[in-house]
Structure 1
Amino acid sequence: MNISHLVAVSRHSEGNRTMMEDNDDGTEHPNPWEPNENTGLLNDNNQTYFADDRIVVPDDDNTKFSFKKLWAFTGPGFLMSIAFLDPGNIESDLECGSIVGYKLLWILLWSTVLGLLIQRLSARLGVVTGLHLAEMCYKKYKKVPRLIIWLMIEIAIIGSDMQEVIGTAVAIYLLSNRYIPIYGGVIITIIDTFTFLFLENYSLRKLEVFFGFLITVMAISFGYEYVASKPDEISIIQGVVVPWCKNCDNRALLQAVGIIGAIIMPHNLFLHSALVKSREIDRTKPKKVSEANFYYFIECGIAVFISFIINLFVISVFAKGMYQKTNREVHDLCLKYPSINASIFPVNDEYVEADLYKGGIFLGCTYGLAAMYIWAVGILAAGQSSTMTGTYAGQFSMEGFLNLQWPRWRRVLLTRSIAIVPTFIIAFYRNLDDLTSMNDILNAVMSLQLPFAAIPCIAFTSDPTIMGEFVNGIFNKFINIVMSLFVIVINTYFVVTLLLGIELTWYYILLAVIFAVFYLLFCLYLILHLIASMGLSLRTKGFIKKYVMCYEEPKTNEEGTSSYGSMQVNA
């Protein structure tokens, strides 16, 4: 089948086309002179990350597998995998190791697999259609729900950026041996963010290599800690393969939910679907599209596997050293290093409540000062790499949902300013424990945003008018829906449990109830859109046509035959 049958409306001429008159069923169309879901999208040459810098894929059809082609497709998956390694993930890892030891490594494994499968859908959408997830939302959702989704994703991006600010500030605090206070590190993150904007002067390939370097720094840093701590390999294997948590309490359950929420990030779906557009793919040939999907999945699998190993390193290190350790025990260890802040651990017999800073201090007290500084370098690399990918995710989101382009320095200034203000206030007036609590709240906030990325992604990749022969099969639809519902349910449980542990006044409870009602209703709307997108008869209902689905006029392809698709991609 020719891909031109798969996707059939020109993106660049669409904006100049006026709407049809109102349908007989009373469906109203917006003013044709105002931007709406039928307005043409930005030209790729003006978009982030791709301008005049697409990577050419070698045209070699003589072999079933080509390492040269795999190398050409290598890059987007590694940039995407950085979200699996941000400071929020690292803190979740060390908390998991210190609270339950090796027992939840199987949760880490399967949440990583779930993340890979969901990211696969995102990549396929970008490869097949030539539109990333935010652009597709712009085309396929009505204006109001589209703007709601955009706001939710922006909240997730800002929440992630706040975690990156916290991680970077803690790393600077450790590296400076407390000479630069936490709030000083927060201020420094304003400056260091803009240094990355100079990377735009370099080629796309060099940018991808730079991110690969940061991942390598994390692997070496946390790998060093793993080797130095010498964890129990048998316990690690048991933790990975045995899906059980013996003698675990509610804290362990919250850690399990936290691991899943930290790995499956909503804005990462938008990022990955856009990054795959950076390769030259001939979308008029189904074979080339299948080939791109194949190599991108291999590359994504390798990147995600590396992120799994790095996360396993962190959990194992703290499972070996901090599990069931009391504050008194760690405090006594630190007394032999006068330069280390032993007072961070109170002299009592309560178990240590780990965070990024205490984790670094513990490593320094146990394995030497070098271990503390290497840990700080790893956290710094995690924060810096996540900052840049977060900037790209925000840029793609804004370009897609709003169909406008902002200079990247404005975008990064807006996001970082919003992220820094509350972080600076807490760092200046409160203490590190409050920053840790803030990190837990941010994980909960980002968990709530997951439906606004996962449901649209499944809807679009299950829509035959969008994906054609590359549409999700029945089995894939079932698996992806079940997985997403599972993740959404446990994330909701995490948020509810967190709220129940906080003393709230009546008006906060009222606001929470109002938000919960709105949240559930909007999720139901997205599910309704998902069901209709699967090609079921529901999409022909008057209510669905008027309020849920977006339709476009049928087009003819270059062969003059009517097409069933609703999108056009550029070859």
Structure 2
Amino acid sequence: MSIAYLDPGNIESDLQSGAKAGFKLLWVLLAATIIGLLLQRLAARLGVVTGMHLAEVCNRQYHTVPRVILWFMVELAIIGSDMQEVIGCAIAFNLLSNGRIPLWGGVLITITDTFVFLFLDKYGLRKLEAFFGFLITIMAITFGYEYVTVRPDQGELLKGMFVPYCAGCGPTQLQQAVGIVGAVIMPHNIYLHSALVKSREIDRSNKKEVKEANKYFFIEATLALFLSFLINVFVVAVFAEAFYGRTNEEVHTVCNATGSPHLDMFPLNNQTLEVNLFKGGVVLGCFFGPAALYIWAVGILAAGQSSTMTGTYSGQFVMEGFLNLRWSRFARTLLTRSIAIFPTLLVAIFQDIEHLTGMNDFLNVLQSMQLPFALIPILTFTSLPSLMNEFANGLFFKIGGGLVVLLVCCINMYFVVVYVVDLNRVWLYVLAPFLSLAYLAFVGYLAWLCLIALGVSWLDPSARKGNDTSVLIEQQPEFDS
């Protein structure tokens, strides 16, 4: 579950945050991780209490048309995440080979990696979990090495993490803060976590055992996200200390002195340095030696490879839950990986590294748009006494969860609007009103059903006590109110 907080999209958001705002947005990263933990808690509780994951519950509760639309939106998020993993791996292979493996070659190599993991899956879930742990350890060591090498100012780091203020920040930093939230909280990860908890055997007829399982899953998620948060902090701190406020001319001078072949990326002007996954490795190599570049690339490769399997599992659970289609993991992976590879390969062949990393920004926007289609359903179903019995959300979690979902959705919609405006494409302005109306109408429909669920315990005293488990399922099947 924690892998989704360490994919290449997150790493790129981290390094851009450090380079553009220094340590000032670390508190945003901390807040986003805490919000993510609370949402993961809801996902785990749903799986533990009901014995069904989120996609299965959606299939049971929603009508056919909204269910299919919801499935399509979640699939878009999974494919977008898969494309980010492909981009990250391709960049890592290019850096590790000193440019000998072209970007399109790295894209093609990533076609095969998922099937290697599927082979490992045949040896049991625990062995696969151990392999994930190994990859996370590689990330911790590699990005930790960069952290120790750069030696960030610890006082500034702690101030940025615990003081929710951004002195002197402008629109650029505001957009970056919004981008952090969009990169950290991943829609398909909510579906994944609700399914992963089913791998543990729980006697759901024993309330004490269910309560105990909820407690330990929450502790497990807290530890996992604490580790992923530390790794994210390593990346932010490295780029905040070493590259915040630097200009292209400064970097060009240093890279020229070290004989870097990528001087064309840093024109001789006084504009502030902008970095991405590829440039990040290059500037680390210029300032801290070739070892820093290669270690950075190994960390990116580990992030991309590990998150690949996360997307595979998410897609499997989502397809089975929404559509009752039980494809083999091989067929399911072949389909989504092919969809992800094709556009990425075209950009890698016919465009340059700037367009490939720019594609990463678009994919972050795409996943931000899909976020309501995970957050609203998870809040809806964990608030239903008819599903959760005495484990349904209390008043605090209903109000708090509702406000968190509203805040995160508004933040991400702002991110989308800013991205569209910055693109300045006429055809987008023409299509945007129609797409926005359709999108908001569906989000509004889901939100209305969520409000019904949040109000059930107040409308029906028996449901509030947990005595009636058929308030919505039998009296109002599929929310047909």
Q: Does 1:347 align with 2:247?
A: no
Contact 2:87 2:107 in 1 (8 A): yes
**Equivalent position to 1:531, from 435, 440, 451:** 451
Residue 28 of structure 2: aligned partner: 107
Deviation at 1:333, TM superposition (A): 1.5
**Equivalent position to 1:441, from 357, 362, 370:** 362
Residue 251 of structure 2: aligned partner: 330
Which amino acid in the other structure matches residue 441 of structure 2? L
Superposition map of 1:391-430 within 5 A: 391-430=312-351
Deviation at 1:367, TM superposition (A): 1.1
Deviation at 1:551, TM superposition (A): 6.0
Deviation at 1:169, TM superposition (A): 0.3
Q: Aligned partners of 2:281 and 2:473: how far apart in 1?
A: 56
Deviation at 1:435, TM superposition (A): 1.5
Residue 278 of structure 2: aligned partner: 357
Residue 500 of structure 1: aligned partner: 421
Residue 207 of structure 2: aligned partner: 286
Contact 1:532 1:539 in 2 (8 A): no
Deviation at 1:550, TM superposition (A): 11
Superposition map of 1:280-319 within 5 A: 280-319=201-240
Q: Aligned partners of 1:192 and 1:279: how far apart in 2?
A: 27
TM-score by length of 1: 0.80
**Equivalent position to 1:184, from 91, 100, 105:** 105
Which amino acid in the other structure matches residue 117 of structure 1? L
Contact 2:255 2:286 in 1 (8 A): yes
Q: Aligned partners of 1:208 and 1:451: how far apart in 2?
A: 29
Sort the Cα spacing of 1:537 and 1:208 in 2 relative to 1 into closer, same or farther, 3 A.
closer
Q: Aligned partners of 2:331 and 2:365: how far apart in 1?
A: 28
Residue 513 of structure 1: aligned partner: 433
**Equivalent position to 2:2, from 77, 81, 86:** 81
Contact 2:52 2:195 in 1 (8 A): yes
Q: Aligned partners of 1:182 and 1:195: how far apart in 2?
A: 21
Bigger proportion of residues as helix: 2
Other structure's SS at 2:429 match: helix
Q: Which runs of 4+ in 1 moved over 6 A?
A: 537-540
Deviation at 1:536, TM superposition (A): 3.0
Residue 8 of structure 1: aligned partner: none
Which amino acid in the other structure matches residue 172 of structure 1? F
Sort the Cα spacing of 1:90 and 1:523 in 2 relative to 1 into closer, same or farther, 3 A.
same
Q: Deviations over 1:268-289 (max 9, x none)?
A: 0000000000001011100000
Contact 1:141 1:550 in 2 (8 A): no
Sort the Cα spacing of 1:357 and 1:300 in 2 relative to 1 into closer, same or farther, 3 A.
same
Q: Aligned partners of 2:474 and 2:389: how far apart in 1?
A: 17
Deviation at 1:337, TM superposition (A): 3.1
Contact 2:386 2:472 in 1 (8 A): no
Residue 251 of structure 1: aligned partner: 172
Deviation at 1:533, TM superposition (A): 2.1
Deviation at 1:183, TM superposition (A): 1.0
Deviation at 1:537, TM superposition (A): 9.1
Residue 467 of structure 2: aligned partner: none
Deviation at 1:565, TM superposition (A): 12
Other structure's SS at 1:426 match: helix
Contact 1:169 1:182 in 2 (8 A): yes
Deviation at 1:552, TM superposition (A): 5.0
Residue 138 of structure 1: aligned partner: 59
Contact 1:134 1:400 in 2 (8 A): yes
Residue 40 of structure 1: aligned partner: none
Contiguous gaps of at least 5 residues in structure 2: 461-469
Which amino acid in the other structure matches residue 533 of structure 1? A
Residue 147 of structure 1: aligned partner: 68
- Report how many aligned residue pairs link the two structures: 469
Superposition map of 1:256-275 within 5 A: 256-275=177-196
Contact 2:138 2:299 in 1 (8 A): yes
Q: Aligned partners of 1:113 and 1:152: how far apart in 2?
A: 25
Q: Aligned partners of 2:231 and 2:419: how far apart in 1?
A: 27
Q: Aligned partners of 2:236 and 2:139: how far apart in 1?
A: 14
Q: Aligned partners of 1:337 and 1:278: how far apart in 2?
A: 51
**Equivalent position to 1:220, from 126, 141, 147:** 141
Which amino acid in the other structure matches residue 142 of structure 1? H
Q: Does 1:431 align with 2:355?
A: no
Contact 1:465 1:565 in 2 (8 A): no
**Equivalent position to 2:88, from 167, 170, 195:** 167
Superposition map of 1:359-374 within 5 A: 359-374=280-295
Deviation at 1:164, TM superposition (A): 0.6
Q: Aligned partners of 2:471 and 2:62: how far apart in 1?
A: 6
Deviation at 1:91, TM superposition (A): 0.3
Deviation at 1:193, TM superposition (A): 2.0
Q: Deviations over 1:165-218 (max 9, x none)?
A: 110000000000000111111111112222111112212111111001111000
Contact 1:533 1:539 in 2 (8 A): no
Which amino acid in the other structure matches residue 524 of structure 1? G
Which amino acid in the other structure matches residue 222 of structure 2? G
Deviation at 1:127, TM superposition (A): 0.4
Q: Aligned partners of 1:196 and 1:337: how far apart in 2?
A: 39
Q: Deviations over 1:509-541 (max 9, x none)?
A: 23211110011111111011112223539999x
Contact 2:54 2:195 in 1 (8 A): yes
Contact 1:94 1:314 in 2 (8 A): yes
Other structure's SS at 2:423 match: coil
Residue 31 of structure 1: aligned partner: none
Deviation at 1:443, TM superposition (A): 0.6
Which amino acid in the other structure matches residue 441 of structure 1? F
Q: Aligned partners of 2:157 and 2:91: how far apart in 1?
A: 28
Deviation at 1:336, TM superposition (A): 3.6
Q: Aligned partners of 1:148 and 1:565: how far apart in 2?
A: 19
Q: Aligned partners of 1:537 and 1:363: how far apart in 2?
A: 55
Contact 2:42 2:379 in 1 (8 A): yes
Contact 1:466 1:565 in 2 (8 A): no
Contact 2:276 2:357 in 1 (8 A): yes
Q: Aligned partners of 2:54 and 2:266: how far apart in 1?
A: 46
Q: Deviations over 1:12-67 (max 9, x none)?
A: xxxxxxxxxxxxxxxxxxxxxxxxxxxxxxxxxxxxxxxxxxxxxxxxxxxxxxxx
Which amino acid in the other structure matches residue 452 of structure 1? F
Q: Does 1:389 align with 2:310?
A: yes
Residue 378 of structure 1: aligned partner: 299
Contact 1:108 1:259 in 2 (8 A): yes
Which amino acid in the other structure matches residue 4 of structure 2? A
Which amino acid in the other structure matches residue 210 of structure 1? F
Task: Return the index of the structure with the highest Cα Rg.
Answer: 1
Deviation at 1:437, TM superposition (A): 1.6
RMSD over aligned Cα, in angstroms?
1.9
Which amino acid in the other structure matches residue 471 of structure 1? A
Contiguous gaps of at least 5 residues in structure 1: 1-79, 541-548, 555-563, 567-571
Q: Aligned partners of 2:458 and 2:359: how far apart in 1?
A: 43
TM-score by length of 2: 0.95
